[in-house]
Amino acid sequence: MALIFAVIFVFCSCSDDVKNEINSTQPVTQTPSAVNKTDNKDFTDKYAAIKLTFGYDGLENEAQRACYNAMSEISDVITDTTSDSNSYLTEEKFISMNLLDKDIFIALTAYKYDNPGVFWLKESFTSSYYNGGVGIRLCSYYSAEELNKRKAKFDNKVSEIIKPLESEMSEYERELYIHNYLIKNCEYDNAASELVKNNVHSDSGESFTAYGALIECNAVCQGYSDAMSYLLACVGIENTEISGTSQGGNHIWNAVKIDGDWYYLDATWDDHGDEVYQYDYFNITTSQLEYDHTIAETYENMTEEEITGGGSNLGRNFNIFIPDCTEESENYYVKNGAILQGFDEENDVLMGEELLKVALNGDTYYNICVDRNYVDYENACEQLFDPYIYRFQNYVNYANSHLSEYQIDYSASIVKKDKLNVITVKLSYI
């Protein structure tokens, strides 16, 4: 008897009866063989692609690891067998172990997190129970023939994206390049998001995949995070995806390891449509993230019914691995903003010099990063922009004294970003 199950993975879900062909094989014990890249080759000789294994490393028993390995073997072995909802089923892999339903759910989630480039797989599987073990099959959006076409198109696009990267760029610089590319070239798919909120699932899940983000240039958060994760891995940067909620709905984003430290990155919320907010979620800490995000629990803290849905409902979102993000040195504003550490003449000059750099580049935004070790945030806002104090004028005086062709207007509008300890000043020139 073949049963189909769906792992709740942010927005995507699937629950169907299937036409199943029994094709039992003996299990093979191996290390994870899931690929980062659809063609198994580096896209550039400047940076070596890495294989993500945080999902695999977070599995707790041999049954889950065997299931994960089986999925890596069959993930792109698509057969002509289909489910009632027209999902194409992979070849069946037999695992000679007594697997619990939750083990398969957990293994599939881990596999999907480690393989964001496997854009054709749905978050669903079939399981066939035999004497001595379980046979599993995964579900694909596409036939084998269609998948080969899409793989080639996807790989060509990834090569095109990565090609402009220069040699010896830092991890931060590579991350920033990929982030900016995605923000510029992908739009949030509001229509797909609304369908999910209303429990209506379209047959095509491209907006929930890296393929949708990079080829169709249209995605929801899962597509953004898959694309970000895949591209980062292709240029040698360790990362994983994190599931949770934000603004009242299911959400997914990235955790990125830069120079040995973990940071959160939410490219979806950075693609706000307003440049002033474009880097608000670029390499932030756990405490900054939790201002408006809630991180889902790890599966170890959940019951089997919560993970699987108990056979009648979809299970809850869960994580395999959650890093602790406490460092701030690779935060966008810390690296690129003017660091405010006081209100004396020396600091006025330092802040004026940073404003001058912004003006010489003709940039619109001047970001003031308030160092809370020296200055209280609200006091900084008052000192700088209260009309009776307006210490910001000192910075403008300094910068304008070194500008000849144009001047910075003394009037300025500001955006207070208290969770980041940042004040973004929108400049105008005269």
Give the C-alpha separation, 221 to 268, whole Å: 6
Enter the tokens of residue 275.
Answer: 């440049």
Enter the tokens of residue 116.
Answer: 């964001």
Question: Which CA distances in Å does 160 have to 50, 206, 293?
Answer: 19, 20, 33
122 with 80, same domain: the answer is yes
255 with 157, same domain: the answer is yes
Three-state DSSP at 218 gives: strand
174 with 240, same domain: the answer is yes
What CATH number is attached to the domain comprising 226? 3.10.620
122 with 23, same domain: the answer is yes
pLDDT tens digits in sequence order for the chain, 430 residues long = 444 455 444 433 333 333 233 233 333 333 333 334 444 458 989 999 999 999 999 999 999 999 999 999 999 999 999 877 789 999 999 999 989 999 999 999 999 999 999 999 998 899 998 888 999 999 999 999 999 999 999 999 999 999 999 999 999 999 999 999 999 999 999 888 877 665 555 545 899 999 999 999 999 999 999 999 999 999 999 999 999 999 889 999 999 999 999 999 999 999 988 899 999 999 999 999 999 999 999 999 999 999 998 766 678 899 999 999 999 999 999 999 999 999 999 999 999 999 999 999 999 999 999 999 999 999 999 999 999 999 999 999 999 999 999 999 999 899 999 999 999 999 999 9
276 with 414, same domain: the answer is no
The residue among 87, 113, 140 that closes a domain is 140
pLDDT score at 201: 52
Strands 282-284 and 293-295: unpaired
Q: How many domains in the chain?
A: 3
- Domain assignment present for residue 40? The answer is no
Give the C-alpha separation, 299 to 109, whole Å: 10
291 with 352, same domain: the answer is no
Give the C-alpha separation, 351 to 115, whole Å: 44
The residue among 79, 105, 140 that closes a domain is 140
Instruction: Determine contact, residues 174/257, Cβ cutoff 8 Å.
Output: no
Give the C-alpha separation, 86 to 98, whole Å: 29
Please spell the DSSP secondary structure of 289-341, one letter per residue: HTTTEEEPPBGGGS-HHHHH-TTTSPPPP-BS--------TT-HHHHHSEEE-
Question: Which CA distances in Å does 296 have to 9, 108, 119, 183, 293?
Answer: 11, 17, 23, 25, 10
State the chain's maximal CA–CA distance in angstroms: 84
- Domain assignment present for residue 359? The answer is yes
- Domain assignment present for residue 54? The answer is no
125 with 11, same domain: the answer is yes
- Domain assignment present for residue 286? The answer is yes
297 with 358, same domain: the answer is no
- In single-letter form, the type of residue at position 421 comes to N
Instruction: Determine contact, residues 308/256, Cβ cutoff 8 Å.
Output: no
167 with 129, same domain: the answer is no
Enter the tokens of residue 257.
Answer: 């390891």
110 with 186, same domain: the answer is no
270 with 258, same domain: the answer is yes
Instruction: Determine contact, residues 126/82, Cβ cutoff 8 Å.
Output: no
Quote the pTM value: 0.89
Question: Which CA distances in Å does 151 have to 39, 135, 143, 214?
Answer: 8, 27, 12, 12
- Domain assignment present for residue 268? The answer is yes
Residue ranges making up the domain that contains 411: 337-426
DSSP 39: T
- Domain assignment present for residue 122? The answer is yes
Give the number of other CB atoms < 10 A from CB of residue 328. Answer: 18
pLDDT score at 198: 58
Enter the tokens of residue 70.
Answer: 């089986």
- The CA-based angle 56-59-65, given to 5 degrees, is 70
- Domain assignment present for residue 319? The answer is no
Which residues lie across from 140 on neighbouring strands?
88, 121
144-162 vs 221-234: helix crossing angle, rounded to 10: 60
The residue among 114, 140, 166 that closes a domain is 140
pLDDT score at 17: 31
Please spell the DSSP secondary structure of 245-266, one letter per residue: EETTEEEEEEEEEETTEEEEE-
End-to-end CA distance of the chain: give it in Å, rounded. 75
Strands 338-340 and 365-370: parallel
Instruction: Determine contact, residues 250/11, Cβ cutoff 8 Å.
Output: yes
Instruction: Determine contact, residues 134/94, Cβ cutoff 8 Å.
Output: yes
Instruction: Determine contact, residues 340/346, Cβ cutoff 8 Å.
Output: no
pLDDT score at 36: 40
- In single-letter form, the type of residue at position 250 comes to N
